[in-house]
Structure 1
């Protein structure tokens, strides 16, 4: 792929984004070296790897390869028998620990466990846990070897500690003894790896020993006392032994690593490749990208494509297709309308797809493999179009024309711009015609009307436009294939405030043919918008009809299931009843046969006959299908009495008559705590018990009905309540008392100011079923109690 296209289409910015997701130095290097491929098999393999890694990320989370160090140099040294240093061995350990984590990651259980293209790579990873453990046991850090790394090292370090303690003991006694007056400071210091004490220069002859250093002023001499020279020598010998032990440990560890040289090489290769693959998957996740489907027919069909370098919250998705019914697409429209973005989106997504990267577009978008992508895209959004600019563009065009073939994708931005419009348009048509004749897939943006006419009149060439809202002077960035775009220069100028007279004068300068063509484009645009609006409305109706159809089918299914269940239950019940009838018939036959033999009395026979008839009637009622019919009331006012039990048919609720019907047939019915006015035609008398006081009586059907009114007291206490509270409580109490057929009740309201008594009396005057009320006699509560008598 030519370098200019990669730079022009900003491919390297995508590579920078990809590199940021890699976590190892080798993985980052692989990302930097990624370039588009032209081998379909390799491309599809990389796309599949990216898809499988993305699937694993969604199911198991991300996988880090930050511990993967580039140890290939160290491994080369092991090949020739060299001993590795502490840092190199720690890098190998880090690599193997990362290999172990990757191995564990691949074994995590998922809901949909299946084989993918990465399984083999994970399977080939060798964690070499014993080697990693041994390195970790021996080496604690970059600067520290464990005492337990070897027996010899442990013994040497124990001896070093003892010797060191002896040295400090003797020096401490020397510093704190009689010789303290000779010392500059009462401290012990190190010079050239030997323990020394700072002695004043004038007393150096008083302290026998070896002089190792002198201060810059010469006033202090650093002397190693003779008493510890031997101990210092021993310490130096022990340090040499320690270093030898460490070198032996490193040599042994290097030997262990060398024995697994091939496995470590493979781990470096596999883990760096997996880091590269998972970086591609992480990039796809961040862009909400999908895997494109590749074809060999040079067809591009990208659905809802988004340019990956534009903010994903602001970018407008576009649909782009080329190569199926046409191989040349000419995009027109006003400046800043998104033409160049559309061009770059096609080129960049093609490069990304051929690099094994997912593309930010909808599922099932199609791309083809192009051996070369040529792009001549520059900043043409300036009013200054010089010859040098035209020459630069033509240089690119010449190179494209020389090397492009049927396996190339060519992208032109403002083809023919920068020179005389007539000549530029003619030149652009000639270039595009040549590409079209050679079967080269091409896409070009332009302002020239001649190219719009060329696309309309040439088979295999299609117009497209970037939609622009003249009212708001803003582009919508939607790409409309099949519709040529208007420049909208006059409309935009008028909106921006250019005098109408100047615009009219400008219109006079263009030919009648051009004006007519622009009018045709305007009509096409209006027709397109109308069709799109109607299409969206039709889609909405179709969705609504589909939803209603699904709901109706679901409802019908439920009805069918219910019907089948009812029929099955009815059949089962019918079979059971018939079996019972047969059993009773058999029993009856036995009885009659026995009667003939034993001379059973006629009375006994009649009893058995009566029992059989009852059983048959009962069975017949169960088998018969009862179709509920809406009953029409035939009650007359004289048929109802206060306290009668009725059913309000419209509400399917039982109640009690609490008033006589008026001239219009309206009456009050008490339904629980609800007292409602209904018409007599909506009532049906029901067979309920009549309860007087606490006593019970049977109905005609012989059933006993209990009612809470059976426990109504003969007195209600309203002391301390407001008039509203008292009337509300009194209303329910009097209804219950009247339904219980009490002849009279006592209302205790107290004397007080008389307001409560007055409110109670006013309420009692309105009740039709109250015969009379009066204050109680002296000794029974007099003015504090009211006696109420009900109508009979």
Structure 2
């Protein structure tokens, strides 16, 4: 992007805010170098990076990015053989630790998905051994510790011994020669312990003079008795310095050995810090991620200028690039026209820099090759250019380079010259830029340009609203409504005589008055439409809340009903089990007395079956939702008569007509509704088969039992009764019946079984079970 455009739109102020939010010099280096990109893939990736970091901030509030330094210069010095200081080595260890912390933080996050951050985290290498070596030698204050080597520990032990001996001897002087000293203290000059001796006692204390006071009244003397010890102390300190240098050289060589891994870590950490700096700026601005395109579309709802304080800024809706490619904004001075231009331009630059923009979610911005702007009075005294000449110089340069992938911002187009010529020139310039299919937003005072939007395709008028009652601009942008001069209304509010105003109106043409009246009508209509829209939006939100409330109540009701049914079933099951158990006890007791009761075997069997069939059908009490369930997959075509569910209304109905290839008419109660196929769900009804314990034979006036007792019958009579009974049982729809023939000689049992073998409707037969009468009963199974 042109550097002048960045300056005019105050892009650097955004960069300054961004740089302050970086956690390390690595991030600050990248934020300060940030420039808008015109490559769509690059911009899209940067927006994805910012959005990932913003999601992490929303979930976690902050990220561990402390203790990270730009150690690239230090690494470079080690590569060429330089020796780092203790603090520089400590910065390397701190950066390694900081990288490991952010790596662990990202790896431990489960939600949301963060492919870019995880990729960067994978690039960070732990380098734990290098960090351990540095921290084992250097403490947190940047001092090489005694334990860095055995030799250093020995040397420092000797230094402490020498220092102790020197102090002991010097303390002897301060006590015995106190009157000869300016102060009874031991001080240091030239790294040697000395005494502050008065000038007149110079010859009373033998030693080496290292310094004197500014007045010359005090001499700093090293007594001869401590010269040797001081010499030994100085020698030990030289050895200490050499050992420290050796340790730091070893650490520097270790750092140089891992230079590629360290560079990789630093680069990854810089990118992560850069991402989170952009996310923090978005959080401060309450910004949202724009959807980027290359078609020149800009759609922003409730967009705010990022450099105006939230308490003062007025949000506006801005749209360009779809129904129209150019906007001409008219209106009074200080009404916010220039702010609107800068808002669109600055938000575009921010979006192309991977920054989120201060607008509502769902905003859309384009990636332009260039953004051109002619804004403000840039008159150059040095070049002796007038305001008009200065603007025209910029415009000429713009017209040389503008194309279909350009955004052009003109402020007060054609100003600074004769109004009639300026208006004509402004329309001509606009025509030229519009014909090149660029996106254009221009502001102007010329009334001739109010009609420009009505006479050109792809061009629309706009204005900034002005409140006549308060005589102040509201800073609201009105798309589709040209601005009014408001001169007569403002003069009237300020007290100008009505007679003067009426005379002034006679001086303007009828056409101008008609245009002003039309604009006033448009403003009123737009204001009314916005109020209606706001009211409709509120009603829609209330309806949505009511719908969700009713849905929750219905779900609670369904859940409660299911619980009650389940509880009732469990209670009924327990009651039946108890009754059955009691009945079993009674049957068992009566069976033990059957000789006295003279009851037949088949009567015991029938009583037992009736007891089993006494269990009620609890499934009949299931909810309608369980009886009719929607098909799991919609694969069939619908036809007239099908039962369907309208998903949007949550109602069931019947298809009465097909009105199109993919549209049906559905009867829902007393209403007929048209619905698309995707909004309909075919309903499958579960049909449960219920077997009645007794069935009535057609044409008969009696019921057929599930068993036939042939005991005591003659052979032929028994077979006749058996054939007739089997026919009646088949008509009744029984799946099986029991034939009681007794044990006896077995003749009847054989006759029944031979009959079963020869009957085509009997699939099989078997002897009765232990609780069915045993061998005295044959059970016939029907096919």
- Taking structure 1 as the reference length, the TM-score comes to 0.69
Q: Deviations over 1:456-501 (max 9, x none)?
A: 1211111222222222323332222222232222222222222222
Secondary structure in 2 aligned to 1:363?
A: coil
Residue 503 of structure 1, aligned match among 492, 501, 504: 501
Note closer, same or farther for the CA distance 1:370–1:221 as it changes in structure 2 (3 Å cut): closer
Measured in 1, the distance between the counterparts of 2:197 and 2:551 equals 107
Q: In the alignment, is the contact (CA less than 8 A) between 1:387 and 1:419 conserved in 2? A: no
Counterpart-to-counterpart distance in 2, 1:105 and 1:575 = 55
Seen in structure 2, the aligned counterparts of structure 1 residues 515 and 86 have a Cα distance that, compared at 3 Å, is: same
The residue that corresponds to 1:431 in the other structure is 429
Is 1:271 equivalent to 2:269 in the alignment? yes
2:75 counterpart SS class: helix
The alignment status of 1:75 with 2:75, answered yes or no, reads yes
**Among 463, 477, 502, the residue aligned to 1:465:** 463
> Is 1:29 aligned to residue 29 of structure 2?
yes
Shift of residue 170, structure 1, vs aligned partner: 2.8
Q: Conserved in 2, the CA contact under 8 Å of 1:68 and 1:272?
A: no
- Partner of 1:153: helix, strand, or coil? helix
SS of alignment partner, residue 451 of structure 2: helix
Structure-2 residue corresponding to 1:84: 84
The residue number in structure 1 matching 2:114 is 115
Aligned pair 1:332/2:330, yes or no?
yes
Question: Does structure 2 retain, via aligned residues, the 8 Å contact 1:22–1:278?
Answer: yes
Return closer, same or farther for 1:182/1:379 CA change in 2, 3 Å cut-off.
closer
> Do the aligned partners of 2:22 and 2:28 also contact (CA within 8 Å) in 1?
yes
Cα distance, 1:320 vs structure 2: 0.9
- Verify the 8 A CA contact 2:46 2:354 in the aligned structure 1: yes
Alpha-carbon separation, structure 2, partners of 1:287 and 1:157: 56
Q: Cα–Cα, structure 1 residues 387 and 582, in superposed 2: closer, same or farther, change >3 Å?
A: same
Greater Cα shift, 399-408 or 113-122: 113-122
Quote the offset at 1:271 in angstroms.
Answer: 1.9
CA distance in 1, matches of 2:87, 2:562: 80
Whole-Å separation in 2 of the counterparts to 1:593 and 1:459: 106
Stretch of structure 1 that moved more, 327-336 or 434-443? 327-336
Post-superposition offset of 1:254: 1.2
Provide Cα deviations, 1:730-750, integer angstroms capped at 9, x if missing partner. xxxxxxxxxxxxxxxxxxxxx
Report if aligned partners of 1:464, 1:483 keep a CA contact under 8 Å in 2: yes
**CA apart distance, 1:516:** 1.1
| CA separation of 1:589 and 1:444: change in aligned 2, threshold 3 A | same
Query: Deviations 1:603-650 (Å, cap 9, x if unpaired)?
Result: xxxxxxxxxxxxxxxx99x9xx9xxxxxxxxxxxxxxxxxxxxxxxxx
Residue in 1 aligned with 2:769?
Answer: none
Partner residue in 2 for 1:256 = 254
Q: Deviations over 1:276-311 (max 9, x none)?
A: 221111000000111101111111111221111111
CA gap 1:180/1:421 in 2 versus in 1, 3 angstroms: closer
**Given the alignment of the two structures, is residue 228 of structure 1 paired with residue 229 of structure 2, yes or no?**
no
Could you tell me how far 1:38 is from its partner in structure 2?
Answer: 0.4
Aligned length, in residue pairs: 599
For residues 281-320 of structure 1, what are the structure 2 equivalents within 5 Å? 281-320=279-318
Match of 2:55 in 1: 55
Corresponding residue of 2:9? 9
TM-fit CA distance, 1:322: 0.9
Inter-partner Cα distance in structure 2 for 1:429 and 1:387: 23
Is the CA contact 2:211–2:220 (under 8 Å) kept in the aligned structure 1? yes
Q: 2:414 aligns with which of 416, 427, 445?
A: 416
For residues 85 and 474 of structure 1, the distance between their equivalents in structure 2, rounded to whole angstroms, comes to 64
1:171-186 alignment runs, 5 A limit: 171-177=170-176, 186=184
Q: 1:162 to 1:307 in 2, by over 3 A?
A: same
Instruction: Give the SS at the match of 1:160.
Output: helix
Q: How does 1:273-672 map to 2 (within 5 A)?
A: 273-378=271-376, 388-545=386-543
SS of equivalent to 2:84: coil
Structure 1 residues 180, 352: closer, same or farther in 2, change over 3 A? closer
CA distance, structure 2, for counterparts of residue 571 and residue 145 of structure 1: 80
Matched, 1:129 2:128: yes
1:153 maps to: 152
RMSD (CA atoms): 3.7
Structure 1 residue 143: Cα displacement: 6.8
Kindly state the Cα deviation for residue 409 of structure 1 after the two structures are TM-superposed.
0.4
The answer to whether the Cα contact below 8 Å between 1:183 and 1:198 also exists between their aligned partners in 2 is yes
Cα distance in 2 for residues equivalent to 1:61 and 1:558 = 36
Per the alignment, residue 673 of structure 1 pairs with: none
1:186-225 to 2 correspondence within 5 Å?
A: 186-199=184-197, 204-215=202-213, 220-225=218-223
Contact 1:376 1:393 in 2 (8 A): yes
- Structure 1: distance between partners of 2:227 and 2:569: 116
Could you list the per-position Cα deviations for residues 534-586 of structure 1 after superposition, in whole angstroms to 9, with x for gaps in the alignment? 34444444455555555666666677777788888889999999996999899
CA positional deviation for 1:144: 3.4
Contact 2:64/2:105, CA 8 A, preserved across alignment: no
Deviation at 1:46, TM superposition (A): 0.9
Change (3 A) 1:234 1:320: same
Residue pair 1:289, 1:359 contacting (<8 A) in 2 also: yes
State how far apart, in whole Å, the 2-side matches of 1:160 and 1:387 are.
Answer: 77
Distance 1:31 1:443 in 2: 29
Distance 1:481 1:246, change over 3 A: same
Residues 22 and 276, structure 1, Cα contact 8 Å, conserved in 2 = yes
Looking at CA atoms only, which structure, 1 or 2, has the larger radius of gyration?
A: 1
Asked whether the 8 Å contact 2:199–2:217 carries over to 1, the reply is yes
Structure 1 unaligned spans of 5+ = 381-385, 601-618, 626-792
1:144 aligned counterpart, secondary structure: coil
Instruction: Work out whether residues 294 and 368 of structure 2, in 8 Å CA contact, stay in contact via their aligned partners in 1.
Output: no
Q: TM-score, normalised by structure 2?
A: 0.69
Deviations 1:731-781 (A, max 9, x none): xxxxxxxxxxxxxxxxxxxxxxxxxxxxxxxxxxxxxxxxxxxxxxxxxxx
| Cα distance in 1, alignment partners of residues 596 and 184 from structure 2 | 141
Q: CA deviation at 1:411?
A: 0.6
Aligned partners of 1:60 and 1:108 also within 8 Å: no
Q: Deviations over 1:129-180 (max 9, x none)?
A: 3323332332236673322221111111111222222222233334544x66
Q: CA deviation at 1:63?
A: 2.9
Aligned twin of 2:666:
none
Per the alignment, in what secondary structure is the counterpart of residue 145 of structure 1?
Answer: coil
**Equivalent-residue separation in structure 2 for 1:562 and 1:171 (angstroms):** 95
Change in Cα spacing, 1:306 to 1:75, as seen in structure 2 (3 Å) is: same
Q: Deviations over 1:591-610 (max 9, x none)?
A: 8998995599xxxxxxxxxx
On the 8 A contact 2:56/2:112 being kept in 1, the answer is no
Unaligned runs of 5+ in 2: 379-383, 600-614, 622-783
Structure 1 residue 115: deviation in Å?
Answer: 3.3
Deviations, residues 656-712 of structure 1 (Å, cap 9, x unaligned): xxxxxxxxxxxxxxxxxxxxxxxxxxxxxxxxxxxxxxxxxxxxxxxxxxxxxxxxx
Change (3 A) 1:548 1:16: closer
- Contact map agreement 2:31 2:274 (CA 8 A) in 1: yes
Query: For 1:82, what is the secondary structure of its paired residue?
Result: coil
Q: Does 1:139 align with 2:138?
A: yes
Residues 554 and 489 from structure 1, CA distance in 2 versus in 1: closer, same or farther, beyond 3 angstroms? same
* Distance change >3 Å, CA 66–CA 500, structure 1 → 2: farther
The corresponding residue for 1:676 is none
Where does residue 640 of structure 1 map in the other structure?
A: none
Counting only pairs closer than 5 Å after superposition, residues 767-778 of structure 1 correspond to structure 2 as none
